């Protein structure tokens, strides 16, 4: 257990945070009516929260496994409470109590197995199977319930026997507990076979050879047996998405996918070429407004403006790039930030041009030739358009990174002087990266205007640039997969945190800090391509 | 015969400090020329002036590429200098640490190839052919410096001596007719230095001219065809290794008063 | 209310107070009173920018990080001052005591926040890739904004006028307000103190040494961690004073004031050459004056556009800022 010293330090940390948050958390004044509200309970929450958080971090530093264990415990026990606060629905609370009992028993087994038995002891394997059974079951139940809720209305009644856990008889749904046991058993088998497999892998290397550089888990993603099934699963999921989920969900997913494209675009500039651009949203605004204005004044359609938006983005990229790209890192950052703000402010104030803060509405949605789309239909159409855009972007960005130009970008990020000495034109290479990044922002801007049918300057604040930058850095600079994952996480997370409405941006900020502190290199580090060379022919 | 590189009265000032003072240096085809002098004598500054990283205050840098018109290098950007056929390595190694060894060499071929964005995206046959050529040629250069086994390693994971050789390989990939080596043997053990000696001679024998800065006198004396000695930015002597070894001014400025210990 | 000041408040609350100029206003252009008024408004603005910009530039100089959360520190300083002064005024303290105690509280708590942020969000990232602390800073900024939003309120809070109208200022009160004078005087005193601290004290020397070369500073026995903490504390204290002064000048605050002020101050720091302390002050005054005159004589709608255009222009001609040294990288 934790030594007394840690507990004493924890108390000191708690005291510090109580002091720190005292005026803002405890006192609430009304300067007009001259009244004070003292909120003493807040003080207690802060103290308890910081004390526990400190102890947890200490525990995690000492014993990772134990920390995970504690996290599991907390998560499972807190789950019903959280769900209760989210939905204010007592029935869900009751249901979750049973799952948390399962979880508690599972966690108990987990402690037992971790503490009592030697690594390769047979009992440990059996026990760990059992705890998985107990912990896995509520997880599967939760997932199944969620899936059931979403799927049931979509699936014709005749096919309901396929949904694993719920039987519907005349609109009354029953839980099929037997099937849950089956799934649990399947989980157990899967787990034990996985363990056997891992153990066999571990035993190949004698102990003295295993101190080779540790392979990061993310590198497994690049192995064929891992990524192929994953890819199949993901592509099926994304293709079927609009048919499985509600229009609301589809809309959220469209914006998340747009951020994927924006992230990949900025990844060329920041992640690959190493140019810190804090005003990326300016090019996004250029694209959006070019569609809005061209559509309003000249009645130009989506498909005509899409390339125009890209070209205009690139044009502005070059326009800005020529004077500023010779600036060093952080100077470049602030100038691009300034440029982003200039564009936004001009849009906000130049009423004759952009209709000012009220923005432009009634922009045409993208038409599907020959078909008259309903609102719902056009959202689904929009979804597939965005998917196509994402695939196109991944394709292009991937090829660019693997090309002569892509290599030059990477090299430029690594060492500018050596790069020039190798005959690479610094300005030209930077400018291509900058312009290409802007092209993507321009195109997504057009897509954005078409999706929302409304643009105003408030959509293009610095916060947007900051979020896109966060996507790139959090994903792992230069890594395409990382950018995709982090875009989905960062954009979907605040959306699904809407249940906590007020707290979601607070959590978002905290997550950014925590992720950076614990994974400063991002989720997935980019891996350089290896070349296979047939030595005989040379 | 016209020298490949003819530097006349090169002067470089930093603020009030004159780092190079009216320096004349000539390098002829097929020669290994060494530039020696105590620390801070302005040797690396000289390299930086020639390769366009610094803009010299005065003087002329004239390059005579074989079979082409003479070209004045003053004020040219570093990448343009490299395009003229003048490649360099760096004193404090400047590889691309997070790229593979092979990619480091491939970067060197950037200025000799010309795939554009269009080619990169659509991978037309021409681009594919060029890409294949880049890989093959880079690999053959790696073989020349005996780094082929490390081709897919990250450059930062190479041992020190190998990193120095990789710098040379990368410079060779730019297809130069003249190579500027800035202390290629620094930090190498005797065995590695010997290998380097062979490598440099081999490169010379393939027809490249070499200008090198080096502190390892044994190496300099054994491979150089001609030596320039610089101190406080001024040239104090020049000649063949034998002449330099006898030159009293050099012995005083560079090797110190005590000849026995040199 | 005097137009310059209206423009000034308009900067912080873009749509509430903007004064649309019409043709009649053009007549004001040539009046010396109007010019002096704009001059003082610009100087006041510059002084506030300088107080915030100093924190940016000190932190940047020492660990090379754009501390995006710095604007939030300034906002927290203003809020602390608001809370303390309201509580004290309810208990019937005299105005001077309220002003001093509110200032002390703002400085203490803002410094505490600065210190804590550095410990939690930046220190673990000292050896991380360059952009990671930046993201951490952005996250911290978002967190603190929402923290104040949730702990206090999202509405604008009226801020009590902590500076009385001085009798001796009566004759010029229509041009220069008493608060302007206090802001100028206080910020000049604070800047002089800071200069003295950095130039002559042991801590100041340690700071300069750390800024030049962290490893070497460590080798000669400077506790680099402490020096960095002190830098954050000093910067935060300056920002808190700025927050207090501007809040009592403008008369209302909310959780979002830190963001735009932070960006402007950072612009000022870069303008002067980031990392350079006189540069930050110079940049701030130039920025303040430019904004003031541009809004006074051209249009208040494009105030920020002028600021950023000035930045872009100056950086194009002097890539390292006005007083920044363009370092030649050793090859």
Q: For chain C (length 331 residues), average pLDDT per consecutive 10?
A: 40 41 52 82 90 90 87 93 90 88 94 94 87 89 92 85 74 75 88 90 90 88 91 93 87 86 87 85 92 83 82 82 69 62
Q: Chains that contact B by 3+ CB pairs under 8 Å?
A: A, C
Mutate to test the interface with B, among C327, C330, C331 (most CBs of B within 10 A): C331
Least confident stretch, A77-81, A313-317, A483-487, C160-164: A77-81
Neighbours of A155 (CB within 10 A): 14
Do residue B121 and residue A400 have CB atoms under 8 angstroms apart? yes
**Secondary structure (3-state) at B183:** coil
Q: Between the ranges A155-164, A526-535, B151-160, where is the mean pLDDT highest?
A: B151-160
Examine the domain organization and report whether B114 and B162 are in the same domain: yes
**Three-point CA angle B17, B20, B26, nearest 5°:** 175
Shortest CA distance from A507: residue in chain C: C143
Examine the domain organization and report whether B27 and B132 are in the same domain: no
Residue B251 DSSP one-character state? I
Beta bridge partners of B14: B17
Distance CA B172, CA B163 (A): 14
- Residue B21 domain-assigned (yes or no): yes
Q: Which of B98, B116, B174 lies closest to A423 in CB terms?
A: B174
Q: Domain of B135?
A: 95-175
The Cα of A58 is separated from the nearest Cα of chain B by a number of Å equal to 33
Is residue A211's pLDDT more than 90? no
Q: Which residues of B touch C331 (CB under 8 A)?
A: 44, 48, 53, 90-91, 94
Provide CB contacts within 8 A for C189, sequence distance 6+.
none
DSSP string, C22-84: -HHHHGGGG-HHHHHHHHHHHHHHHHHHHHHHHHHHHHHHHH----TTHHHHHHHHHHHHHHH
pLDDT at C238: 92
Q: Chains that contact C by 3+ CB pairs under 8 Å?
A: A, B
Neighbours of A502 (CB within 10 A): 10
Q: Which residues of C touch B94 (CB under 8 A)?
A: 331
- Residue B90 domain-assigned (yes or no): no
The Cα of A326 is separated from the nearest Cα of chain B by a number of Å equal to 14
pLDDT at A437: 94
Distances in Å between the Cα of B164 and the Cα atoms of A126, A411, A483, B89, B94 are 55, 18, 35, 8, 9
pLDDT at A477: 82
Examine the domain organization and report whether B250 and B184 are in the same domain: yes
The Cα of C29 is separated from the nearest Cα of chain B by a number of Å equal to 45
Do residue A399 and residue B110 have CB atoms under 8 angstroms apart? no
Contact C84/A at CB under 8 A = yes
CA A327 and chain centroid, separation: 31
Distance CA A393, CA A483 (A): 12
C-alpha neighbours within 13 Å on the C-beta side of residue C239: 40
Distance CA A303, CA A322 (A): 29
Examine the domain organization and report whether B27 and B49 are in the same domain: yes
pLDDT at A186: 56
Q: Which of A31, A36, A327 lies closest to C315 in CB terms?
A: A327
Alpha helices, H only, A152-246: 177-204, 224-244
Q: Between the ranges A19-23, A31-35, A100-104, where is the mean pLDDT highest?
A: A19-23
pLDDT at A170: 46
Residue A415 DSSP one-character state? -
For residue C312, report the phi and psi dihedrals to the nearest 5 degrees.
-60, -45
Residue A24 DSSP one-character state? I
pLDDT at C167: 72
Strands of chain C, DSSP E? 157-158, 252-253
Beta bridge partners of B20: B12
pLDDT at A92: 44
Contact C252/A at CB under 8 A = no
- Across the range B132-136, mean pLDDT stands at 90
Is residue B97's pLDDT more than 80? yes
Examine the domain organization and report whether B145 and B246 are in the same domain: no
Q: Which of the four pLDDT bands, split at 50, 70 and 90, describes residue A65? A: low
Is residue B128's pLDDT more than 80? yes
Examine the domain organization and report whether B166 and B232 are in the same domain: no
Kindly tell me the number of DSSP H helices and DSSP E strands found in chain A: 19, 6
Tokens representing A72? 């599991």
Examine the domain organization and report whether B197 and B233 are in the same domain: yes
Mutate to test the interface with A, among B102, B106, B107 (most CBs of A within 10 A): B107
Start-end of CATH 1.10.3470 domains in chain A: 238-518
Distance CA C217, CA C224 (A): 7
Examine the domain organization and report whether B31 and B155 are in the same domain: no
Q: Which of the four pLDDT bands, split at 50, 70 and 90, describes residue A82? A: low
The two most distant CA atoms of chain C are separated, in Å, by 66
CA C53 and chain centroid, separation: 5
**Secondary structure (3-state) at B230:** strand
pLDDT at C109: 95
Contact C331/B at CB under 8 A = yes
Q: Which of the four pLDDT bands, split at 50, 70 and 90, describes residue A12? A: very high
CA B81 and chain centroid, separation: 12
Q: Chains that contact A by 3+ CB pairs under 8 Å?
A: B, C
CA A164 and chain centroid, separation: 29
- Across the range B150-178, mean pLDDT stands at 90
Tokens representing A331? 């100077």
**CA nearest to A433, candidates A512, A318, A316:** A318
pLDDT at A17: 94
Examine the domain organization and report whether B4 and B41 are in the same domain: yes
Q: Considering B116, B151, B175, which residue would you say is the last residue of a domain?
A: B175
CB A405 within 8 A of CB B115: yes
- Across the range A439-459, mean pLDDT stands at 93
CB A167 within 8 A of CB A176: yes
Examine the domain organization and report whether B75 and B8 are in the same domain: yes
CB A470 within 8 A of CB A514: no
Q: Between the ranges A88-97, A431-440, B241-250, where is the mean pLDDT highest?
A: A431-440
Please, is A209 exposed, middle or buried when counting C-beta atoms within 10 Å of its C-beta (0-12, 13-18, 19+)? exposed
Contact B251/A at CB under 8 A = no
Distance CA A331, CA A319 (A): 17
**Three-point CA angle A66, A67, A70, nearest 5°:** 85
Mean pLDDT of chain A, nearest integer: 77
- Across the range B90-116, mean pLDDT stands at 89
- Across the range A30-54, mean pLDDT stands at 89
Q: Are strands B32-36 and B209-213 parallel, antiparallel or unpaired?
A: parallel
C-alpha neighbours within 13 Å on the C-beta side of residue A424: 31
Provide CB contacts within 8 A for A389, sequence distance 6+.
A257, A261, A443, A444, A447
Examine the domain organization and report whether B184 and B262 are in the same domain: yes
pLDDT at A93: 40
Count up the domains in chain B and report the number.
2
Contact B51/C at CB under 8 A = no
For residue A211, report the phi and psi dihedrals to the nearest 5 degrees.
-85, 35
Examine the domain organization and report whether B77 and B180 are in the same domain: yes
Tokens representing A113? 């197995």
Distance CA C273, CA C271 (A): 5
Listed by start position, the domains of chain C span: 50-272
Tokens representing B170? 């990368």
Q: Interface pTM (ipTM) of the complex?
A: 0.89
Tokens representing A200? 């066999």
Q: A238-518 adopts what CATH topology?
A: ABC transporter involved in vitamin B12 uptake, BtuC (1.10.3470)
- Residue B80 domain-assigned (yes or no): yes
């Amino acid at each position: 257990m934790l030594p007394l010293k840690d507990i004493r330090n924890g108390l000191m940390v708690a005291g510090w945070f109580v002091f720190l948050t005292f005026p803002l958390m405890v006192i609430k004044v009304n300067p007009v009516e001259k009244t004070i509200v003292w909120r003493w309970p807040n003080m207690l929450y802060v103290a308890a929260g910081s004390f526990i958080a400190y102890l947890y971090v200490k525990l995690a530093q000492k014993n990772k496994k134990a920390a995970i264990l504690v996290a599991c415990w907390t998560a499972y026990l807190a789950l019903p409470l959280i769900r209760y606060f989210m939905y204010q629905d007592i029935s869900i609370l009751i249901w979750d109590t049973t799952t948390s009992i399962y979880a508690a028993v599972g966690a108990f087994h987990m402690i037992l197995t971790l503490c009592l038995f030697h690594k390769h002891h047979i009992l440990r394997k059996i026990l760990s199977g059992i705890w998985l059974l107990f912990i896995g079951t509520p997880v599967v139940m939760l997932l199944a319930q969620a899936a059931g809720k979403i799927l049931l209305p979509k699936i014709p009644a005749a096919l309901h026997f396929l949904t694993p856990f719920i039987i519907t008889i005349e609109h009354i749904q029953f839980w099929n507990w037997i099937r849950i046991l089956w799934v649990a058993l399947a989980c157990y088998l899967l787990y034990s076979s996985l363990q056997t497999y891992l153990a066999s892998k571990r035993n190949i290397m004698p102990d003295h050879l295993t101190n080779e550089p540790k392979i990061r888990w993310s590198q497994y993603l690049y192995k064929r047996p891992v990524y192929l099934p994953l890819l199949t699963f993901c592509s099926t999921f994304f293709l079927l998405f609009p048919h499985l989920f509600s229009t609301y969900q589809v809309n959220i997913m469209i914006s998340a996918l747009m951020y994927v494209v924006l992230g990949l675009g900025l990844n060329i500039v920041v992640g690959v070429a190493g140019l810190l651009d804090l005003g990326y949203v300016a090019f996004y605004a250029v694209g959006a407004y070019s569609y809005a204005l061209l559509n309003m004044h000249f009645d130009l359609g989506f498909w005509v403006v899409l390339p125009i938006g890209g070209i205009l983005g690139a044009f502005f990229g070059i326009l800005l790039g020529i004077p500023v790209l010779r600036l060093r890192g952080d100077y470049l950052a602030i100038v691009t930030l300034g440029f982003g703000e200039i564009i936004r402010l001009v849009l906000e104030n130049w009423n004759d041009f952009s209709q000012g803060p009220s923005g432009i509405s009634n922009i045409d949605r993208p038409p599907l030739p020959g078909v008259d789309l309903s609102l719902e239909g056009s959202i689904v159409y929009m979804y597939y358009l965005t998917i196509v855009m994402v695939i196109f972007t991944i394709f292009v960005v991937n090829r660019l990174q693997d090309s002569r130009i892509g290599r030059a970008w990477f090299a430029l990020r690594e060492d500018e002087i050596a790069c020039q000495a190798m005959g690479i034109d610094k300005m030209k290479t930077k400018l291509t990266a900058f312009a290409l990044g802007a092209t993507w922002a321009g195109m997504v801007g057009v897509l954005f205007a078409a999706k929302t049918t409304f643009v105003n300057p408030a959509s293009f604040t610095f916060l947007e640039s900051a979020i896109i930058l966060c996507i790139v850095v959090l994903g792992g600079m230069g890594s395409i997969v990382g950018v995709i994952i982090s875009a989905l996480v960062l954009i979907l997370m605040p959306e699904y945190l809407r249940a906590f409405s007020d707290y979601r941006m607070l959590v978002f900020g905290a997550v950014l800090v925590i992720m950076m502190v614990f994974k400063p290199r991002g989720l997935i580090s980019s891996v350089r391509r290896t070349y296979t060379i047939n030595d005989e022919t040379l | 015969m016209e020298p490949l590189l003819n530097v006349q009265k090169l002067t470089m000032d930093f603020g009030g400090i004159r780092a190079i003072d009216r320096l004349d240096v000539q390098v002829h085809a097929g020669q290994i020329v060494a530039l020696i002098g105590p620390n801070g004598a302005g040797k690396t500054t000289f390299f930086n002036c020639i390769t366009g990283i610094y803009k010299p205050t005065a003087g002329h840098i004239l390059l005579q590429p074989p079979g082409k018109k003479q070209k004045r290098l003053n004020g040219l950007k570093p990448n343009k200098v490299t395009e003229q056929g003048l490649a360099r390595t760096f004193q404090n190694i400047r590889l691309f640490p997070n790229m593979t060894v092979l990619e480091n060499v491939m970067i060197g071929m950037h200025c000799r190839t010309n795939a554009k964005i269009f080619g990169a995206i659509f991978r037309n046959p021409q681009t594919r052919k060029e890409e294949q050529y880049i890989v093959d040629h880079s690999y053959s250069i790696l073989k020349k410096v005996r780094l082929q086994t490390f081709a897919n390693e990250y450059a930062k994971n190479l041992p020190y001596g190998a990193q120095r050789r990789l710098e040379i390989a990368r410079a060779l990939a730019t297809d130069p007719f003249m190579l500027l080596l800035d202390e290629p043997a620094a930090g190498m053990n005797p065995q590695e230095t010997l290998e380097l000696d062979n490598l440099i001679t081999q490169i010379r024998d393939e027809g490249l001219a070499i200008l090198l800065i080096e502190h390892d006198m044994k190496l300099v004396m054994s491979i150089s065809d001609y030596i320039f000695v610089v101190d406080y930015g001024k040239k104090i002597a020049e000649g063949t290794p034998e002449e330099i070894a006898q030159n009293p001014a050099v012995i005083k400025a560079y090797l110190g008063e005590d000849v026995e210990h040199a | 209310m005097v137009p310059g000041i209206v423009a000034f408040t308009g900067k912080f609350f873009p749509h509430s107070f903007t004064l649309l100029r019409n043709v009649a206003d053009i007549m004001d252009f040539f009046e010396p009173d109007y010019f002096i008024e704009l001059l003082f408004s610009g100087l006041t603005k510059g002084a506030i920018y300088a107080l915030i910009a100093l924190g940016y530039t000190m932190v940047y100089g020492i660990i090379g990080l754009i501390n995006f959360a710095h604007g939030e520190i300034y906002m927290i300083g203003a809020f602390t001052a608001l809370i303390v002064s309201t509580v004290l005024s309810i208990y019937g303290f005299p105005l001077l005591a309220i002003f001093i105690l509110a200032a002390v509280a703002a400085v203490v708590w803002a410094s505490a926040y600065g210190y804590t942020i550095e410990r939690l969000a930046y220190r673990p990232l000292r050896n991380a890739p360059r952009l990671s602390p930046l993201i951490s800073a952005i996250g911290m900024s978002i967190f603190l904004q929402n923290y104040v939003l949730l702990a206090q309120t999202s509405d604008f809070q009226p801020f009590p006028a902590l500076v009385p109208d001085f009798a001796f200022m009566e004759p010029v009160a229509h041009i220069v307000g008493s608060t302007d004078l206090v802001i100028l005087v206080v910020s000049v005193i604070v800047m002089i103190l800071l200069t003295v601290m950095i130039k002559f004290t042991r801590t100041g020397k340690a700071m300069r040494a750390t800024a030049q070369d962290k490893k070497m500073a460590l080798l000669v026995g400077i506790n680099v961690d402490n020096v960095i903490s002190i830098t954050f504390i000093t910067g935060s204290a300056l920002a808190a004073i700025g927050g207090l002064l501007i809040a009592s000048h403008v008369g209302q605050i909310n959780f979002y004031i830190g963001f735009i002020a932070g960006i402007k101050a950072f612009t000022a720091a870069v303008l002067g050459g980031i990392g350079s302390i006189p540069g930050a002050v110079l940049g701030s005054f130039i920025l303040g004056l430019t904004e003031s005159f541009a809004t006074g004589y051209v249009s208040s709608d494009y105030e920020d556009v002028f600021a950023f255009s000035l930045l872009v222009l100056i950086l194009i001609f002097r890539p390292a800022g006005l007083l920044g040294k363009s370092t030649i990288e050793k090859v």
